[in-house]
Chain A
């Protein structure tokens, strides 16, 4: 089994290497940061590309100078070493120019940060609570909540030597038993906290992650522009099953979201009364 796995791996490796020239064009989206589906994630993407290009251009300059020196100023080619070791103008320039570039980069970065921290005028609030090892979502003022943990199919397959090929499992490790359902087009405020250890709630398509810390309530926000299913994971080491507490957001158009909310309200209304001592347990197992 292992040798065939290695052979399979080697073939995949060969395929990856063969694709290398195409990487620049075809597969770029898989190699780069996601653009996401919120105004903030778009800002972050633009900022990421800006800094990336600044780094790439600087890198071409610096590494170009190094490789030029390696080729040109080598003893085997008869190069004679100069003895200069100072140049005030050059030193001033390579201190001042990077500083100016940093200031130019800091302006959009500051704008993006101010945008992220502005949680005012939100249309609704979701409280996210991290547990070892699942999430609880409370729809504030709606009386609706749900627990969300790793889907059964992934949980079986991820056991040590389960014998199940992860490739045969739909959305392996990125599927949950109950999705967080959200509306598109509304400014949603997220309150993140935790009940045991520190977790971090991260859906890349929203453009940010935020730590869920016991005793703290952190604020952030997202306005999802397009309906869809967006997947993420806990991003702060939280114990043995840290790798197994995914997040799935299903963003629905307003009408469908309202219908879902009413249906869930109706489901939860009687149950919360008789299971007050262990809230949520029946909901979490209800699928």
Chain B
């Protein structure tokens, strides 16, 4: 269909070579690739920290690290995984896919795009550099609650500025995506025809723009409290330590959906493809995502039920929180209905997508339980919470990132990945991730607090099981890298459509997608509804 356009594009493939290509590029595919590689590196750095945590928790007593370093590991693991692995990975996918999916030649603001990526290596140099500073890396938790965070040593200003840089990068990325989707859609690509990945990303972008500046404000107040004599969060100076938590979680809860909404988009692309059936309830998917985004702004205090709020506040935040189960349930039911009476095959992306639906739902169940205030007084700050957010983030966000990688890798590289290796990666990961995180529910219910380097002996058995699961899961991710490297280097040639059931503009392009695509908009006839 757009072969003429593709031919035309191929003549324009002139760009700087070597390192300068990557430093100066404004091409959405190059920038997307850099984002994805960066996030994969961060995934392994954050993962190494998780391995240290699970190693120390393998048995009771302290064998490997001291408590301060342990706290640095939990803090840095979270910051690296959230801001370094998951968020840049979503921006990387958006860079690659949004222009292809809406039939645009590139992102609307290509230079901003280059800048928003290149901020990240500096942000993470600042953050990871603190590991080598006197006093060690930040150890007050990724939530940076004062007064504890103010006890951080020389790492403190580096933490604050690293967060500022990460935030600036995210905001720039979000502005770019909004500008692209609202201005550069091919003729005929109406909003209600957008693929769900694009829809969920627009909603994510608005969440980013609304919430990241709030985080920036909060950490700036921390900075002035520490160095410039203000008392925003110091009770002794007339300030309020709980105010920080309100501000932080006003960012923090939308952030949770920033991490997971694009995952919904990816699942909504993969499941119909391998079920060979249109997505069930396209418009209800869009409305549900928007409803979740709206609710995400009015539930923040459920992260802090134990700070001692008035009864009315606790009731409000409980009701608003459990309400999120309704639109989230709609999404899960829609995916199940998409599979129902389909004609399914189970290539690696589909396996990860199905596991995503099942395991994310388990995380949703524990989320519902945590939302019920009186019971949260028991669950709060225990391993039950750790199990909950790892089910939604690892088997939620990360699983759908992996699914998306296997799904679109042939389009990016022009080669099929090694299916056997992919399936091995899936089964090893899925078994081990449950051995890793499911027992943590039991630990939490039995009374083990989170963020502790050592524990009472009644928690020993399940911690050991969990650590073994952790080591296997960590090692399994090496298969992922091997699969990606193999796929970049060669392999069976991928067709344009790649998957039998694939629909959408990106699959009308040859594989690999040429350096410049849709220099001329695709014909309106090639634009299908987003449910396909």
Residue ranges of A at the interface with B (Cβ–Cβ < 8 Å)? 5, 9, 12-13, 15-16, 30-34, 40, 43-44, 47-48, 51-52, 55, 58-59, 62-63, 65-66, 69-70, 73-76, 79-87, 90-91, 94-95, 98-99, 102, 105-106, 109-110, 112-114, 116-117, 157-162, 164-167, 171-174, 192, 196-198, 200, 202, 204, 207-211, 213-216, 218-219, 232-244
Contacts of B277 in A (CB 8 A): 81-83, 85
A47 touches B451 (CB 8 A): no
Tell me the nearest residue of chain A to B58, going by C-beta. Answer: A9
- Interchain CA distance A110-B375 in the complex, whole Å: 11
Q: List 6 A-B contacts (CB under 8 A).
A: A9-B58, A32-B445, A66-B336, A158-B62, A210-B377, A243-B455
B235 touches A113 (CB 8 A): no
Residues 25-67 of B at the A interface (beta carbon under 8 Å) = 58-63, 65-67
- Interchain CA distance A114-B374 in the complex, whole Å: 9
> How far in angstroms is the closest Cβ of chain B from A66?
6
- Interchain CA distance A287-B389 in the complex, whole Å: 41
Contacts of B286 in A (CB 8 A): none
- Interchain CA distance A218-B337 in the complex, whole Å: 48
Tell me the nearest residue of chain B to A173, going by C-beta. Answer: B456
- Interchain CA distance A196-B147 in the complex, whole Å: 7
A158 touches B284 (CB 8 A): no
Residue of A69, A90, A159, A236 near B342 (CB, 8 A) is A69
Interface centre among B71, B145, B372 (most CB of A within 10 A): B372
- Interchain CA distance A159-B65 in the complex, whole Å: 10
Contacts of A110 in B (CB 8 A): 315, 318
Residue of A13, A66, A172, A241 near B465 (CB, 8 A) is A13
A235 touches B457 (CB 8 A): no
Interface readout for B445-470 with A: 1 if CB under 8 Å, 0 if not? 11101011111111011101100100
> How far in angstroms is the closest Cβ of chain B from A45?
9
B148 interface hit (Cβ, 8 Å): yes
Number of A-B contacts (CB under 8 A): 289
Residue of B68, B275, B375, B446 near A48 (CB, 8 A) is B375
Residue of A73, A85, A209 near B381 (CB, 8 A) is A209
Residue of A34, A59, A204 near B361 (CB, 8 A) is A59
Contacts of B276 in A (CB 8 A): 75, 81
Contacts of B452 in A (CB 8 A): 233, 242-243
Contacts of B358 in A (CB 8 A): 63, 66
A31 touches B60 (CB 8 A): no
Contacts of B278 in A (CB 8 A): 83, 85
Given contacts A98-B325, A106-B319, A211-B308, contact A70 B344 (CB under 8 A): yes
Residues 305-340 of B at the A interface (beta carbon under 8 Å) = 306-308, 311, 314-315, 318-319, 322-323, 325-326, 329-330, 332-333, 336-340
- Interchain CA distance A83-B278 in the complex, whole Å: 6
- Interchain CA distance A62-B361 in the complex, whole Å: 9
- Interchain CA distance A66-B275 in the complex, whole Å: 12
A51 touches B372 (CB 8 A): yes
Residue of A113, A162, A213 near B314 (CB, 8 A) is A113
- Interchain CA distance A283-B228 in the complex, whole Å: 39
> What 11 new A-B contacts, CB under 8 Å, besides A202-B449, A244-B454?
A31-B445, A55-B366, A73-B275, A95-B329, A109-B373, A116-B374, A172-B456, A192-B308, A214-B241, A215-B241, A243-B452
B365 touches A214 (CB 8 A): no
A102 touches B140 (CB 8 A): no
B378 touches A33 (CB 8 A): yes
Tell me the nearest residue of chain A to B145, going by C-beta. Answer: A198
Interface centre among A48, A87, A90, A215 (most CB of B within 10 A): A215
Contacts of B323 in A (CB 8 A): 102
Contacts of A63 in B (CB 8 A): 358, 361
Given contacts A85-B280, A172-B456, contact A197 B147 (CB under 8 A): yes
B59 touches A200 (CB 8 A): no
Contacts of A238 in B (CB 8 A): 148
Given contacts A44-B377, A48-B369, A81-B276, contact A12 B460 (CB under 8 A): yes
- Interchain CA distance A236-B305 in the complex, whole Å: 13
A109 touches B446 (CB 8 A): no
Interface centre among A80, A105, A113, A159 (most CB of B within 10 A): A113
- Interchain CA distance A82-B260 in the complex, whole Å: 29
Given contacts A105-B322, A106-B318, contact A9 B59 (CB under 8 A): yes
B457 touches A75 (CB 8 A): no
- Interchain CA distance A40-B375 in the complex, whole Å: 10
Given contacts A98-B325, A216-B308, A232-B447, contact A237 B454 (CB under 8 A): no
Contacts of A172 in B (CB 8 A): 60, 456-457
Residues 364-404 of B at the A interface (beta carbon under 8 Å) = 365-366, 368-369, 372-375, 377-378, 380-382
Contacts of A215 in B (CB 8 A): 235-236, 240-241
Residue of B62, B340, B346 near A161 (CB, 8 A) is B62
B188 interface hit (Cβ, 8 Å): no
A213 touches B308 (CB 8 A): yes
Contacts of B326 in A (CB 8 A): 95, 98-99, 102
Contacts of A32 in B (CB 8 A): 445
Contacts of B240 in A (CB 8 A): 215
Residue of B362, B449, B461 near A16 (CB, 8 A) is B461
Contacts of A43 in B (CB 8 A): 374
> How far in angstroms is the closest Cβ of chain B from A49?
10
A106 touches B322 (CB 8 A): yes
B242 touches A91 (CB 8 A): no
- Interchain CA distance A157-B78 in the complex, whole Å: 29
Contacts of B369 in A (CB 8 A): 48, 51-52, 55
Contacts of A113 in B (CB 8 A): 311, 314-315, 318, 373-374
Contacts of B60 in A (CB 8 A): 166-167, 172-173
A86 touches B281 (CB 8 A): yes
B521 interface hit (Cβ, 8 Å): no
- Interchain CA distance A207-B380 in the complex, whole Å: 12
Contacts of B241 in A (CB 8 A): 198, 213-216
B345 interface hit (Cβ, 8 Å): yes
- Interchain CA distance A215-B311 in the complex, whole Å: 20
Given contacts A83-B278, A95-B326, A243-B453, contact A75 B344 (CB under 8 A): yes
Tell me the nearest residue of chain B to A30, going by C-beta. Answer: B446
B107 interface hit (Cβ, 8 Å): no
A73 touches B71 (CB 8 A): no
B177 interface hit (Cβ, 8 Å): no
Closest 10 CB pairs of A and B: A215-B235, A243-B452, A218-B308, A112-B374, A55-B365, A208-B377, A81-B343, A85-B278, A82-B341, A166-B60
Tell me the nearest residue of chain B to A233, going by C-beta. Answer: B449
Interface readout for B152-193 with A: 1 if CB under 8 Å, 0 if not? 000000000000000000000000000000000000000000
A198 touches B365 (CB 8 A): no
Residue of A52, A59, A79 near B344 (CB, 8 A) is A79
- Interchain CA distance A25-B304 in the complex, whole Å: 34
